[in-house]
Structure 1
Amino acid sequence: MPHVPRLGSGIPLVGRVDELARLRAAVDRARRAEAAAVLLAGDAGVGKTRLVTELGGHAESQGALVLTGRCLDVGEGGLPYLPFAEALAPLATSGDDPVARAVRARPALGRLLPLVPEAPAAAPDFAMAGDVDVRPRLRAEVDLGQLQLFDAVLGVLSEISEHRPVVLVLEDLHWADGSTRNLVSFLISRLRAQRVLMVGTYREEDVYRRHPLRGLLVELVRLPAVERVELRPFGEADARAFVEALAEKPLPPDVLADMVARSEGNPFFAEELLASSDDCDDLPAGLAEVLLARLERLGQDTRRVLRVVAVAGEGVAHAALAEVSGLGELELDEALREAVQHHALVIERGFYQFRHALLQEAVYADLLPGERTRMHAAYATRVRTNPQGRGREAKLAYHSLRSKDFPTALTALVQAADEAARLGAPGTALRHLEQALEIWDAVPDSARPEGYGELKLLMEASHYAGASGDPERAIAFARSAAEALPPDLDRGSAAMVWRRLAESLLSLDGSFDEAPPTIERAWELVADAGPSRARAWVLATRAQIQRAELRLEDARWSAENAVADARTVGIGDAEASALVTLGALADSDGKVDQARQRLVEGVAKARSTGALHVELRAMYYLALSHDDQGELDQALRLYRSGADRAEETGLAWSAFGLNSRLRYVSVRYLVGDWPDDAVERPRSPVSSTVTTIMNTAWVHLMVARGRFAEAERLVADLRAHWRSDLWIAMAATASGSELAYWQGEYERAARLVRDGVARFDEFYPRALGGIRICALGLEAAAAWATEARLRGDTAAVAEAGELGAALLAHVRDCVEHGTPRSGTIGPEGQAWLLRAEAAASGLAGPADASLWAKVVEAFGYGAVYEQAICRLRHAEALLAAGDTAPAAQELGEAHAFAERLEAGPLRTAVRDLARRARVELPGLAPARDVVDLLTERERAVLERVALGRTNRQVGEELYISEKTVSVHLSRAMAKLGASRRAEAVAIAYDRGLLARAAP
């Protein structure tokens, strides 16, 4: 009794009531012009495609246009925008006039739709000679082309949705290439009032920790327009109903129970288990075995066809199967008929493909090595003889690599990288180039692509690695290029190689020391030459590095000469880069207006020449100029503009795309405009260092929100990478100290600052960021000293005072000898300097309330979260001085802020202090009067605990048992609302229940 799965509409949708209701509700919202996106997650075989198919039928019945595209697993390089090309393909031949008009109005769609004419693009020139245009013009074409394509896709969907709702379904995003992921992010982040619903599916189990999709999902699910629907395996009841629906006849109860248990709620597993055996006895243990056991029942020709389809890795046309399989037309027809009837293959838009990816993987894995190689070679031959089709070179490279035809693969990889770059997918281009470099030595000189050498590939790979968020690999490729310089290369081209290495070294603080001698090596090669592209760019990069070295006059000379050379030979991108450096130098001189004028000029020049990396750098420094002056609203707007520009152009993880996003999150933290969650959280780019740098902003938010477990993980990761970048080292120190402070571990918090400052001083001494970090350490040291005084621990008081004095000395040293970016210490630095001095006033006794009042005022430039913390510190100092009324006002302000932002640790600290001071906070119950709550014995126990006695020692002094001491202490703590011994003592002192020990 065969139990053949009856897929599609023949089987009613089992379960999934809630999931389908949510998807239908999303369609309804889209019809009401509330654009939305749904991310449908689930394991392989759990029924994602079945569910979206059901949704598509519902949406079409409501008058929506349903567009569906799928990602394919075709190797590391991938096919840029493949699911969009498939989904939008029907638009090119649509007979619907509004659709046709929308498509014709956007020539950029020609990159995806072959029937739409595409605007011609200039051929790239990668020549490397002194006075020749040696810098790839392709870079600007890539960036601008991607932006045009993104805008075109968004525009056509938006315009069509004015006439009818649009449902765009993108399946198997876990196989999406980087360019597809960027376009998905672009579209979803711009969903507003269009009648558009985007649905993306992905395999949950395939998105491992470092999978490139993981970070994108983390970001997208936080957007208000995005809903995540998790498709879980069936429960027992649904699984039973599903198996019963699949079976042609009623199953014996024991067989049904076994099938339900073995399938573990996965519909695909259940289908295959049911179809693989007549009586369900002796079922294979592994899924692959189950799948292959089922296929063994098919004819020999059918199994051969399935192997041919498995090697293709995508849907295959009938003609391709006929050519590769070697079967005659009749034999092929019968084999395909059998494969389709037994649900091994399905037909989608005229192409044959496996019903499920797992089935294709099982068949492919079962191929013999020689068989696999021959079939890949046959596909490569077919692709090579068919010059049409998007992604042709990537497919040819894939099959040629698998068939060990390295000469063909090398040329195809280079051309595939070129295609990916033109489409604005630098990450995909990098993957192709890496594969090309891997097989370079295996290809003889005569078979290598014309016009390409290993040096050129290394230079391109370095550029695309930097653009894709992998600075370490950018450095590695650039270094390899320098090592591969041939002795007969002209001096200008050689200088550009060394310049590229120096530029890549700038991206990480840990590699900066190597940058100055590297750029000087480049300069030596062109210093005596006349103006040229190479000389202009070497000078521009040299100016950047000299400025970072604080050789400001040298940097100004290099930048001014770079501008002169660039204008002489008409090199706008190098001129723009030098203008940005001149703007930053003017900022250092305190000439703010001049600086901003230069930076605006640099933005315009970079944009006019398509130099997007330079444009992002200029936008970042323009925002930083406002940031330095405490103009946080303007800075926030400009950082956001820079981050958006980087996202739109595929450079979100380039150096200054990252910097803009980093500061955007950091300023939002300061101004109290906290996102609901990790909206700007990193998307796990290739480099772990880049991810860690982005986390330097988020770790402070995690601490401030009281998400201590997550914060501890982030701090640990920061510490593991602290040598890579100054930001990482500082954030690890500051956030670690904040975390320990809020947890009441004051001594540990102070020591973390002391040790952290010593570490990053090794490679960046007297960094002005040390003022802030030392201020945090001083607050911890003061709290440590206060707690020690309450215990009567004079040694700890002295140690805390000594550590605090050392931190205060470091602060003053930074102020005296540090070099502010804008020439003078701005409002933020001034506020933290005052905070350090105010905190230091609490090392030897109660803090100076007047100093804390000045700190509160200083943070009024816009840093409202830090101002709220300082209000708490001010209130503590006021209460110590007996000024209850102003202290109550400060506590009320701090509490209102903490409530609004759900800043848990701050809110808890404010409430605790208010309770101990019997201050009523708006909206909270009045604090209890505890003066008469303690018995004489409880007070006597607390007095001795305050002196540092153990429970045993207290018992000996009071002639009671240790157990009785513990009982009295527990009761006293409960009455005082304290969770720790030290806290109970502190509350008792504040209430006047105990006499204070002398400091």
Structure 2
Amino acid sequence: MRLVPRLGSGIPLVARVDEIRRLRAGFTRAERGEAGAVLLSGDAGVGKTRLLSEVAEFATGRGALVLTGRCLDVREGGLPYLPFAEALGPLATAEEPVIAEAVRTRPALGRLLPLAQAGVPASTEYVAVSSEHEVPHRARPEQDLGQLQLFDAVLSVLTEIAVHQPVLLVLEDLHWGDGSTRNLLSFLLSRLRAQRLFVVASYREEDVYRRHPLRGLLAELVRLPAITRIDLAPLGDADARAFVEALADGPLAPEVVASVVERSEGNPFFAEELLASCADTTDLPAGLAEVLLARLERLSPDARRVLRVISVAGESVSHGALAEVSGLGEDELDEALREAVQHYVLVVEKGAYTFRHALLQEAVYGDLLPGERTRMHAGYAARILRTPQGRGHDAKLAYHSLQSKDLTTALPALLRAADEAERLGAPGAALRHVEQALEIWDAVPEAARPADVDEGRLLHEASYFAGTSGEPERAIAYARSAVQALGPDIDPERAAQKWRRLAEALMNVEGTIDQAVEAIGRAWDLVAERAVSKPRVWVLATRAAILRGIGRREDALWSARTAVEDARAVGTVGGEAAALITLGALADNAGDFTEARARLREAERKAREADSLNVELRALCFLGFSYEDQAQIDEAIEVFERGIERAEQTGLTWSTYGLELRARHLSLRYASGDWPDETLTGVPARGVSSVLAARMTAAALPIVVARGRFTEAAKLLAELRPHWRAEPLTALAAGAAASEIAYWQAEYATATKRQAEAFDFLRSLDDDYLLSGIRLGALGIAGAVAQAKAARIRSDEKAARESVESGEALLVLVRHSAEHGRPRSSALGPEGRAWLARAEAEASGLGGAADPARWAEAVRAFDYGAVYQQAVCRWQYAEALLAASADPDLAAAELTKAHEVAQRLRAIPLRDAVRDVARRARVSLEGAPEPARDTAVVDPLTDRERAVLERVALGRTNRQVGDELFISEKTVSVHLSRVMAKLGAARRAEAVAIAYDRGLLTRPSNAPAMRI
């Protein structure tokens, strides 16, 4: 009897109960507005596609919109965003009004949806990709804005559709995805919040080798809170046996079942192929490749030829393409295809033919003879040349031409493919195309190369694309190669463009400013004596920005003014706007704020006229900085909000300046006391390896700390640490946050240590960060004061003296920072002066009771709108008044004001600290719980401290106390340290005895006697 296997989805799903339950649960949560994603990994053939089909059916049954796309093995540099284009393709023709409107209002989706590009002619001639100076038909921004617009459009269209119905996005075979696909996936998954969106992406675990580009991304994605990973393991023996028995319509001999189970090693597809390849019940091939090919050998020669042709395509193939490349007649081709489909080797998808499983395609392609492979690739290339252009046309032509060794055709195809990839917002794909062109450049006869392209231009383009795709080191390397390749006969303006490109690349990497200055100097030398031109304008504008950054004010001013004059002469509005920003920043540095803001507003207007979006957002950033530095918080917030709105309108929410606008806006909301809810902070998801994301996270960190979410803050601090050098502002935010966390947790030595680590790091970079010592030093002094106080309570004079000396040294550092630091404007601004006042107030308490007058000055200094910091100072001011027995009514008023702010902002640590002082001073605070009991003495203990001490009095160890109160042993120790400090006790037992004597504890009848 010959067995006919039941292949495909007709087989019952075996042994995947837990996996399907988790997938269904994830989708159900997404229905409720908890967006999530699953990364489904497993070996080839283990059943990933089948599991995805099950969850898709489940979601469809729940009324969801299911979008599916898959990656294809077309090698690096192939089709950018292919799975997203396939998945979102149905949206272009959807008749539902909600979907149609969502797509219509996002023109950037036209890069993915082919119907959105209807009627746009595609040139068959190569148009050189180049810098903004070398592209006559398209101005290039400073970064890849098209990619950002596309990413924002994909996220927003899915979010809008999900408001009306849940969305399931399925992406298969990520191990074949190109860099652009990986970038878009990272962007999308890192921004899953409250959308009714569920994403499931699969990949082959064994194909993601150590240096595979997907490996690093996966390591980052699995750290996101909304991401779950499911590893699809091979079937166990029992499940594999049940699966094999389900494959056949008739009974199987036990020895056949045992053999298939053993040989398949739990891989369902291997088991299917082993059983399907049997001519009888004993003929089982030895290896998987042999199994696959042995099964195909049973097909007719024509069917096998068709399979070889399809394997070369690397994607679904139309009937017409097969007829042309295979050379078979219509009747022979029809019979061959029918045979392959009936044997379930091929499947029909959207009118084209593809292998049922990628393993089949790989086995067939790997079995081709070299000459056979070359001829078939050449056949596809010839067909592509004759067919109308479409998305990915040149990338496919380049691929097949390279594989068929037709380098003359491949070179211009690669260049056109790079141009298309740039238009699609895929700089990574464009970079690989240009790199491939560089690899074959010398092998192509000079006469066959595009007339308007040379190797230097390709190196220039490779540098640009490397920079815009997040590879700054490669951008520098290519830019260096471009300038090294400059010959003596090259046009000076073109040479200047390449030196300017090197300068820009160097500016994006920390520690290379001197080299950037040298590079822009070489660029300027080449055009300084030449007539006014667009390249000269941009060199001047870039030179002005770089020289301003290193403090060469006069040279920067001359370059910016000259750039403006030249730009107006030649009509380069974008270059004029860029130079105006530098002029505005220089005026701001000089304290001429009226002039600065007029220049920056003019730059904003001109950049918008020129459609220079990145320059426009940069102008808004600098305008907001001008207001922020002078503590004009309301005006700064208005500018930043305008910039954020503009970024959202243009799809640049996640661009460099789009993020900076949001980060500054969030920082001002923190200062002004307009704190967002936890779910609306706009913090990029944790784990995203982006300096810009770190910048946004750093802006939100103070709110996280002030609300007492210390566990979350600790994770954010660990994630920020690798970004300190690339974005020093994260070091300042992290050092301040770490110091505050330690202070609130009574780890005062750690508080001082953390601020010192951050400040030492910043000083090692540049003296420009000297001003950070004011804020960090003030926080360190607070820790030193608390250390000294605790030491005096336990009569440790040496420790007290050391803490005082440490605090005094920090005060010297703070004063030095304030005197010698270089503020953006001509003088120390209100924020710097306020932190200086706080440092002086903190230091007044080093020797004992703090000076109330100093704290009153600090309260006034933060009156510029820094609501939270002012509340902190009010708390300290009140405590200083009470310690000095001076004006208890004023102290009560200050505590009340501080408590109101802490309550409104949900600033738990500050709220508890204020309540503790109020309880000890018997001050009634609205909204605060009443004391647990009425005593005749001032009670210095908090409820938690009393709970700890009561259990210590019963003879409990720290660990036992922690277990009873559901806190850590370390936290118990912290509470006991505070209790002993407050009661003036040197030991635990002494603290218990003092508490009994003062009536702070009621001695239970069964309390054990404790030795003192």
TM-score relative to the length of structure 2: 0.77
- Which residue does 2:574 correspond to in 1? 573
2:805 is the alignment partner of 1:802: yes
- Which residue does 1:428 correspond to in 2? 429
Q: 1:598 to 1:605 in 2, by over 3 A?
A: same
- Distance in 1, matches of 2:159 and 2:340, equals 40
The one-character-per-residue Cα deviations of 1:518-575 (angstroms, maximum 9, x if unpaired) are 3222222222333221222122112212221233343222212211110011111110
- Which residue does 1:352 correspond to in 2? 353
- Which residue does 1:954 correspond to in 2? none
- Which residue does 2:40 correspond to in 1? 42
- Distance in 2, matches of 1:156 and 1:964, equals 62
Q: 1:803 to 1:19 in 2, by over 3 A?
A: closer
- Distance in 1, matches of 2:403 and 2:911, equals 60
State the secondary structure of the residue aligned to 2:498. Answer: helix
Q: How does 1:258-277 map to 2 (within 5 A)?
A: none
- Distance in 2, matches of 1:853 and 1:616, equals 40
The one-character-per-residue Cα deviations of 1:83-140 (angstroms, maximum 9, x if unpaired) are 454456567788999999999999987754369633569999869999x867873426
- Which residue does 1:596 correspond to in 2? 597
- Which residue does 1:559 correspond to in 2? 560
- Which residue does 1:951 correspond to in 2? none
- Distance in 2, matches of 1:603 and 1:217, equals 37
Contact 2:145 2:655 in 1 (8 A): no
Gaps of 5+ in 2: 941-947, 991-1012
| Structure 1 residue 603: Cα displacement | 2.0
| Structure 1 residue 472: Cα displacement | 3.2
Identify the range of structure 1 (585-594 vs 712-721) with the bigger mean alpha-carbon deviation. 712-721
Q: 1:571 to 1:627 in 2, by over 3 A?
A: same
The one-character-per-residue Cα deviations of 1:456-494 (angstroms, maximum 9, x if unpaired) are 122223333333333333333323322222212222222
Contact 1:681 1:698 in 2 (8 A): no
Q: 1:917 to 1:290 in 2, by over 3 A?
A: farther
Identify the range of structure 1 (303-312 vs 534-543) with the bigger mean alpha-carbon deviation. 303-312
Give the residue type in structure 2 aligned to 1:7.
G
Identify the range of structure 1 (6-15 vs 574-583) with the bigger mean alpha-carbon deviation. 6-15
- Distance in 1, matches of 2:283 and 2:702, equals 57
State the secondary structure of the residue aligned to 1:315. Answer: coil
Contact 1:110 1:116 in 2 (8 A): yes
Contact 2:739 2:750 in 1 (8 A): yes
Q: 1:969 to 1:545 in 2, by over 3 A?
A: closer
- Which residue does 1:76 correspond to in 2? 76
Contact 2:878 2:892 in 1 (8 A): yes
Contact 1:46 1:268 in 2 (8 A): yes
Q: 1:571 to 1:926 in 2, by over 3 A?
A: same
Give the residue type in structure 2 aligned to 1:494.
A
Q: How does 1:85-484 map to 2 (within 5 A)?
A: 85-87=85-87, 112-113=113-114, 117-119=118-120, 137-139=138-140, 169=169, 171-172=171-172, 174=174, 201-203=201-203, 246-249=247-250, 305-325=306-326, 332-357=333-358, 359-361=360-362, 375-484=376-485
- What is the RMSD of the two structures over their aligned residues, measured on CA atoms? 5.7
Contact 1:40 1:48 in 2 (8 A): no
- Which residue does 1:769 correspond to in 2? 772
Contact 2:31 2:166 in 1 (8 A): no
Give the residue type in structure 1 aligned to 2:172.
D
- Which residue does 2:789 correspond to in 1? 786
Identify the range of structure 1 (336-345 vs 2-11) with the bigger mean alpha-carbon deviation. 2-11
The one-character-per-residue Cα deviations of 1:430-460 (angstroms, maximum 9, x if unpaired) are 3322333344344443343331122212222
Contact 1:125 1:137 in 2 (8 A): no
Give the residue type in structure 1 aligned to 2:455.
E
Give the residue type in structure 2 aligned to 1:43.
S
Identify the range of structure 1 (665-674 vs 424-433) with the bigger mean alpha-carbon deviation. 665-674
Contact 1:92 1:116 in 2 (8 A): no
Q: 1:4 to 1:900 in 2, by over 3 A?
A: farther
Q: 1:166 to 1:920 in 2, by over 3 A?
A: closer
The one-character-per-residue Cα deviations of 1:787-833 (angstroms, maximum 9, x if unpaired) are 33344444433333333333322322232232322333333323322
- Distance in 2, matches of 1:866 and 1:266, equals 61
- Which residue does 1:987 correspond to in 2? 979
- Distance in 1, matches of 2:670 and 2:239, equals 46
State the secondary structure of the residue aligned to 1:420. Answer: helix
| Structure 1 residue 983: Cα displacement | 5.0
- Which residue does 1:851 correspond to in 2? 854
Identify the range of structure 1 (777-786 vs 271-280) with the bigger mean alpha-carbon deviation. 271-280
Q: How does 1:62-73 map to 2 (within 5 A)?
A: 68-73=68-73
Q: 1:153 to 1:456 in 2, by over 3 A?
A: same
| Structure 1 residue 247: Cα displacement | 4.7
Give the residue type in structure 1 aligned to 2:82.
L
Give the residue type in structure 1 aligned to 2:315.
E
- Distance in 2, matches of 1:231 and 1:970, equals 38
Q: 1:327 to 1:620 in 2, by over 3 A?
A: same
Give the residue type in structure 2 aligned to 1:584.
A
- Distance in 1, matches of 2:299 and 2:166, equals 41
| Structure 1 residue 987: Cα displacement | 1.9
Identify the range of structure 1 (420-429 vs 82-91) with the bigger mean alpha-carbon deviation. 82-91
Q: How does 1:492-511 map to 2 (within 5 A)?
A: 492-511=493-512
- Distance in 1, matches of 2:932 and 2:277, equals 71
- Which residue does 1:937 correspond to in 2? none
Q: 1:612 to 1:244 in 2, by over 3 A?
A: farther
Contact 1:259 1:270 in 2 (8 A): yes
Contact 1:150 1:183 in 2 (8 A): yes
Q: How does 1:534-553 map to 2 (within 5 A)?
A: 534-553=535-554
Identify the range of structure 1 (795-804 vs 897-906) with the bigger mean alpha-carbon deviation. 897-906
Contact 2:591 2:826 in 1 (8 A): yes
Give aligned pairs, total.
Answer: 958
State the secondary structure of the residue aligned to 2:767. Answer: coil
- Distance in 2, matches of 1:694 and 1:358, equals 43
Tell me which of 841, 844, 860 is aligned to 1:838: 841
- Which residue does 1:950 correspond to in 2? none
Identify the range of structure 1 (817-826 vs 627-636) with the bigger mean alpha-carbon deviation. 627-636
Contact 1:4 1:248 in 2 (8 A): yes
The share of aligned pairs that are identical, in percent, is 54
Contact 2:785 2:843 in 1 (8 A): yes
Give the residue type in structure 2 aligned to 1:800.
S
- Distance in 2, matches of 1:494 and 1:7, equals 61
- Distance in 2, matches of 1:268 and 1:929, equals 75
Q: 1:790 to 1:981 in 2, by over 3 A?
A: farther
Q: 1:159 to 1:484 in 2, by over 3 A?
A: same
- Distance in 1, matches of 2:53 and 2:960, equals 64
- Distance in 1, matches of 2:284 and 2:895, equals 69
Give the residue type in structure 2 aligned to 1:383.
I
Contact 1:211 1:684 in 2 (8 A): no
Q: 1:406 to 1:844 in 2, by over 3 A?
A: farther
- Which residue does 1:948 correspond to in 2? none
| Structure 1 residue 577: Cα displacement | 0.3
Give the residue type in structure 1 aligned to 2:819.
E
Contact 2:131 2:140 in 1 (8 A): no
- Distance in 1, matches of 2:890 and 2:287, equals 72
State the secondary structure of the residue aligned to 1:353. Answer: strand
- Distance in 2, matches of 1:266 and 1:888, equals 73
Give the residue type in structure 1 aligned to 2:41.
D
| Structure 1 residue 845: Cα displacement | 2.5
